[in-house]
A and B are shown apart, each in its own frame.
Chain A
């Protein structure tokens, strides 16, 4: 066992309202610079939909992540030599148009426009060329579309649905969509790190945050293809790749990342997970249907004395172990098992987990003209507007049962609370639901607390970061105090 620490996240999709405040917090803080304006390190997608960049989930096309070939874990993108041979032109790199061409407007025309018969308007101009442009794509183009024959209909996750099921999704009675906010998953087996020929991307040992060294990066742009979630972006102005940094300067000073802090729906949770680094390769190489469970097993219980002993031996600081015990992510992922990774079949072992949304069911009219759902509580899962298979394709490599288990527990929680507050559900039925969902009243109360009532400090359990260790590596603090901060001495300007 080799215990390592990972700062991990849970997004509760039942609570996301698609307001995009998270996207703006990140954008205003980190990516409103030339070359970075098209990047949305945090983005929110409407699902079913094609996502950003368009169709990024189609790994037959983009070849991101890992695959198992002859029992060996391999980068889907290419072999090492193959990557070097393609270094002059990466055939799997998305083009800017797959993201969108960023634009601004000629606001000045409103003030400087000539006298005319009609009112002036501002027009879109490209932030790349400065020339007028037609807007044909954006980072959130299919926002709220739901029933779009172009975008929703082409969602790669619908591939295993029957033609009839896909057609039904375009009926106005069945149209449904939800929001999928995404940031970098700070994977445990990152394919972006593996794909970088220069070794410029690295994972921090103490907290698992994955970063791109702006000095080592030579702009080979293989990492963009390597990441199956397309969360590494190439800065076309500086010639370097950039990605979500999990706001590590904020984390290091005990503040939640900007996207999490600003989340209006309070859907985000942050906390550390302890995991067994010795099992990384093994876990990532498992067959598809075993991935979710294997990743859970790789995650360790911070209350287990054996784990704690090993963690101490592996150099995990005491207060970090304590933080792991209070981690809301541990509870969602390992204890209650109601949060799943996004596309585990990419085999990167992402450490951002989602609680799948309970979507509206298609109800029916009874003869008396009353709207009702079935009295068998879980049968409504079959009449859910989005087939379970769709959620399974997103979160469990196509394994319906993983998602169904979670739904049963979440629904049990809903009915349990309804029995308490409204009182129109019979306690016998509640007991039956609890048994079928394999849960207890105590557990449901805990889930309810953390989901609905938890305050800021319970949702974001930020471990102490002990920056002093890093600072002392470059400064002799005994003889020199109050030195300048770390970072660039020179302004990060594009080379000649």
Chain B
């Protein structure tokens, strides 16, 4: 926790809420005290921060002004399969039933975070879920906005390794009350716009802190780790602390802005992976032929329909517009001094639009924002441009690194990747408070990705459940199972301090002794019975026996390739390697 606080203060990581005060209020106070221009405001804020009159929210996470209150979940099963430590989410975020018995251990050991007792529960005021799978997140949300499935809407889909771009197009309209995601967000924007004049009669300013970003000059921000809060240096936004930006908010126009492609896009062009591509002429050409949206006396390309948004992306993506791909290489050439535009020359005239993709999915075009070369039918493989065309790697030295000399890595002894033995059960602290009840066995519990499970067809539909065990089973080694009197298909209870799983066992010699598997990630709604061990509450899913663990070295930033980027670089999800006690379920299962 302390490391995370340092990381936020130094600008390595974002955190929301940002400050212990409403940023709108912060601006107001700044203005009251005479700061008017953006620069003045930023200076004022920096001073407040330096003098500790304005604090980062992360420093006192249990203070009621510092919790997040509204959670909008979109395209993720955030409450279960993504929530390592699901039972703790239930306890602290939702304030509902939970099966954990873990005791608080942080007291006395944190120095930067403010320790408050008792730990706060039920922090969320509102959980909204845009969901078509109707998974556990939907079950636990306050409001579910049913969203359309893949064949009920216009959308785009791709991943780099797949190297094709697919359209999703509506075979049927969204069923019942569901809407496409685009429609949902547009409707939300419309409502916010309609309601906001009451709160904000005129546009207002907001201060936003953003972390140091990879592929920008921020990569060179911190040659050494220095904490301004320890007096080791001055707090300088974008250098030793997060960037600060003053943003004008005009919520009343939010809907219009949602529906139109704005002028700043034309001015600023496309920025990706450190490449800047100017698009002025392309924007004009696009604007001339695209559907129009008019507001405030001006005309813009329309983004009212999802298909318009899709076409906009396709027009300005270097992956799907040969001209943009060519320009991306021009930008890379300027940067590196290499000759690279030949890679995009043959495709320069190609441009995909949504109708083209509906006729047939297309290959993404070789471009400088991605590192593969897919010309001539080559499969996509990362880093081909770096290896074959000597484009520098996006690291500190421009080469591949095995040794990482960030001071944080050095401090933790992780500068060179060497073998580290698996953490022991005791050290994992998963079984500090759990006791063996009856004939029990302690097992390492792994939650691998199974076939038909997450990232693939979901295994909790009737077909997949019929082709397996009709429930998500718990896999045990045959000798281990014999030791606790468990036969194949018997009910078992697997528990630790974090929570409990109750399901049926699969017994096989192909599971190594001492190991158990519970594939990631079934929904909690599949026929799991109650756990007599945990106050007769229902057993949970894979993340009921895990907890969230942050790895400090992954927070390191401000130094070469160690720099935050959304969905690209930052603390990864901790692995779901845990320890449990397993016993045969006493009596008959209760539902």
Question: Do A's and B's CB atoms come within 8 Å in the complex?
Answer: yes
Contact A121 B509 (CB under 8 A): no
Specify which of B489, B510, B538 is in contact with A175 (CB 8 Å cutoff).
B510
CB A476 to nearest CB in B, in angstroms, measures 40
Q: Cβ of B250 < 8 Å from any Cβ of A?
A: no
Binds A, one of B311-319, B388-396, B522-530, B557-565: B522-530
Query: Does A119 touch B at the CB level, under 8 Å?
Result: yes
- Asked whether any CB of chain B lies closer than 8 Å to the CB of A156, the reply is no
Task: Given the known inter-chain contacts A146-B510, A147-B509, please indicate yes or no for A139 contacting B489, CB distance below 8 A.
Answer: no
Chain B residue at smallest Cβ distance from A177: B510
Which of chain A's residues have a CB closer than 8 A to the CB of B134?
110
Query: Which one, B471, B507, B525, contacts A148 given CB within 8 A?
Result: B507
Which A122-171 residues sit within 8 Å CB-CB of chain B?
122-124, 135-136, 138-141, 143-151, 170-171
CA distance A483 to B525 in the complex (A): 50
Task: Report which of A19, A110, A121, A138 forms a contact with B470, defined as CB distance below 8 A.
Answer: A138
- Interface size for A (C-beta < 8 A) is 40
Neighbour of A138 across the interface among B97, B468, B524, CB < 8 A: B468
| Interface residue B574 (Cβ < 8 Å from any Cβ of A) | no
Q: Is B463 in contact with chain A by the CB < 8 A criterion? A: yes
Q: Which residues of A contact B511 (CB under 8 A)?
A: 172
Chain B, residues 498-538, CB within 8 Å of chain A (1/0): the string is: 00000010111111110000000000111110100000011
Chain B, 563-591, contact with A by CB distance < 8 Å: what is the 0/1 string?
00000000000000000000000000001
**Interface band, chain B:** 35 or more
CB distance from A99 to the nearest CB of B (A): 12
Contact B509 A170 (CB under 8 A): yes
Q: Are B478 and A103 in contact (CB under 8 A)?
A: no
Residue A357 at the chain B interface, CB threshold 8 Å: no
- In the bound complex, residues from chain B placing their C-beta under 8 Å from that of A376 are none
Instruction: Verify A138–B538 contact, CB threshold 8 A.
Output: no
Least CB separation from A123: chain B residue: B527
User: Nearest chain B CB to A137's CB is how many angstroms away?
Assistant: 9
Q: Which residues of A contact B513 (CB under 8 A)?
A: 172
| B509 engages A19 (CB within 8 Å) | no
Tell me whether A149 and B489 are in contact (CB under 8 A).
no
Q: How far is the CA of A118 from the CA of B591 in the complex (A)?
A: 10
Most chain-B CB neighbours within 10 Å: which of A20, A171, A175?
A20
Tell me whether A105 and B527 are in contact in the complex, defined as CB-CB below 8 angstroms, given that A110-B139, A170-B478 are known contacts: yes
Residue ID in chain B nearest A106 by CB atoms? B527
CA distance A124 to B462 in the complex (A): 10
Query: A136-B489, A172-B512, A175-B510 are contacts. A149–B463 as well, Cβ < 8 Å?
Result: no
Chain A residues near B467 (CB-CB < 8 A): 20, 23, 138-140, 143
Instruction: Check if A70 is an interface residue, CB within 8 A of chain B.
Output: no
Do residues B538 and A118 form an inter-chain contact, with CB atoms below 8 A? Answer: yes
Contact A122 B97 (CB under 8 A): no
Per-residue CB proximity of B452-470 to A under 8 Å, as 1/0?
A: 1000000000110111111
Q: Does A325 contact B (CB under 8 A)?
A: no
Known A138-B470, A139-B466, A149-B478; judge A122-B526 contact (CB<8 A): yes
B527 contacts which chain A residues (CB < 8 A)? Answer: 105, 121-124
What is the CA–CA distance of A175 and B470 in the complex, to the nearest angstrom?
Answer: 25
Q: Does B407 contact A (CB under 8 A)?
A: no
Closest A residue to B470 using CB positions: A135
Residues of A within 8 A of B140 (CB): 119
- Shortest distance between the CB of A335 and any CB in chain B (Å): 31
CA of A404 to CA of B469, assembled, Å: 36
Give every chain A residue within 8 A of B525 (Cβ-Cβ). 110, 119-122
Kindly list chain A residues whose C-beta atoms are within 8 Å of the C-beta of B462: 104-105
Is B414's beta carbon under 8 Å from chain A?
no
CB contacts (< 8 Å) of A150 on chain B: these are: 488, 507
Tell me the B284-332 residues at the A interface (CB within 8 Å): none
- Is there a chain B Cβ closer than 8 Å to A35's Cβ? no
B430-480: which residues lie under 8 A (CB-CB) from chain A?
Answer: 451-452, 462-463, 465-471, 477-478
Q: Which residues of A contact B465 (CB under 8 A)?
A: 105
**Pair B470/A146 contact, Cβ less than 8 Å:** no
Bound-complex Cα distance A295 to B171 (A): 48
A117 interface residue, CB < 8 Å from B?
yes
In the assembled complex, the CB of A172 is this many whole angstroms from the nearest CB of chain B, namely 6
User: Which of B507, B508, B591 counts the most chain A CB atoms within 10 A?
Assistant: B508
> Chain A 163-193 against B: per-residue CB contact (8 Å), 1 yes, 0 no?
0000000111001010000000000000000
Cβ A146 vs Cβ B508 within 8 A: yes
Residue A27 lies at the interface, judged by CB distance under 8 Å to chain B: yes
Closest CB-CB distance, B363 to chain A, in whole Å?
Answer: 18
Contact A148/B512 with A102-B466, A135-B470 known, Cβ cut-off 8 Å: no
Question: Is B466 touching A119 in the complex (CB atoms < 8 A)?
Answer: no
**Which B residues are CB-close (under 8 A) to A172?**
477, 509-513
Let me know if A148 and B488 touch, CB within 8 A: yes
* CB-CB nearest in chain B for A122: B525
Asked whether A27 lies within 8 Å of B463 as measured between CB atoms, the reply is yes
Q: Are B451 and A19 in contact (CB under 8 A)?
A: yes
Knowing A117-B97, A120-B525, say if A138 contacts B488 (CB, 8 Å). Answer: no
| Docked pose: A24 CA to B458 CA in angstroms | 13
In the bound complex, how far is the Cα of B469 from the Cα of A144, in angstroms? 12
Q: From B539, which residue of chain A is reached at the shortest CB distance?
A: A121
Contact indicator A103/B510 (Cβ below 8 Å): no
Within 8 A of A (CB), among B326-345: none
Q: Does A265 reach chain B (CB closer than 8 Å)?
A: no
User: In the complex, what residues of B have CB within 8 A of residue A105's CB?
Assistant: 462, 465, 526-527
CB neighbours (8 Å) of A28 from chain B are 463
A18 within 8 A of B: yes
Contacts of A146 in B (CB 8 A): 508-510
Interface string of A8-22 (1 = CB under 8 A from B): 000000000011100
Residue of A whose beta carbon sits closest to that of B463: A24
Q: With the chains together, A24 CA to B465 CA distance in Å?
A: 12
Distance, CA A473 to CA B478, complexed state (A):
62
Alpha-carbon gap, A143 to B134, bound state (A) = 27
Residue of B nearest to A102 (CB): B466
Most buried by A among B466, B488, B524: B466
A62 to B478, CA, bound (A): 30
Chain A residues with Cβ under 8 A from B537's Cβ? Answer: 117-118
Q: What 1/0 flags go to A364-382 for Cβ under 8 Å of B?
A: 0000000000000000000
Please judge, given known A-B contacts A20-B467, A110-B139, A138-B467, whether A119 and B507 are in contact too, CB under 8 Å. no
Q: In the assembled complex, which residues on chain A have CB atoms less than 8 Å from the CB atom of B477? A: 172
Question: A140 vs B470: C-alpha distance in the bound complex, in angstroms?
Answer: 10
Q: Give bound CA distance, A147 to B512, whole Å.
A: 11
Q: Contact at B478–A121, with CB atoms within 8 Å? A: no
A20 to chain B: which residues have CB within 8 Å? Answer: 452, 467
Contacts of B524 in A (CB 8 A): 119, 121
Chain A 216-273 interface residues, beta-carbon cutoff 8 Å to B: none
Q: Which of B400-434 contact A (CB under 8 A)?
A: none
Q: How far is the CA of A143 from the CA of B508 in the complex (A)?
A: 11
Give the distance to chain B from A107, nearest Cβ to Cβ, in Å: 9
A141 B526 Cβ-Cβ under 8 A: no
B96 closest partner in A (C-beta):
A119
B471 touches A145 (CB 8 A): no
Q: Which residues of B contact A19 (CB under 8 A)?
A: 451-452
**A175, B512: Cα distance in complex, Å:** 11
Q: B-facing mask of A402-425, CB < 8 A → 1, else 0?
A: 000000000000000000000000
A28–B464 alpha-carbon span in the complex (Å): 12
Does B463 lie within 8 Å of A138, measured CB to CB? Answer: no
Residue pair A18, B451 in contact (C-beta under 8 Å) = yes
> In the docked arrangement, what's the CA distance between A123 and B134, Å?
17
Write out the residue numbers on chain B whose beta carbons fall within 8 Å of the beta carbon of A148.
478, 488, 507-509
20 A-B residue pairs with Cβ-Cβ distance under 8 Å, sorted by A, are: A23-B467, A102-B466, A105-B465, A110-B525, A117-B97, A121-B525, A121-B526, A121-B527, A122-B527, A135-B469, A135-B470, A146-B508, A147-B509, A148-B488, A148-B509, A149-B478, A150-B488, A170-B478, A170-B509, A171-B509
6 closest Cβ pairs, A-B complex: A147-B509, A135-B470, A175-B510, A147-B510, A146-B510, A170-B509
Given contacts A19-B452, A138-B466, A138-B470, 6 further A-B pairs with CB under 8 A are A103-B466, A117-B97, A119-B139, A119-B140, A141-B469, A150-B488
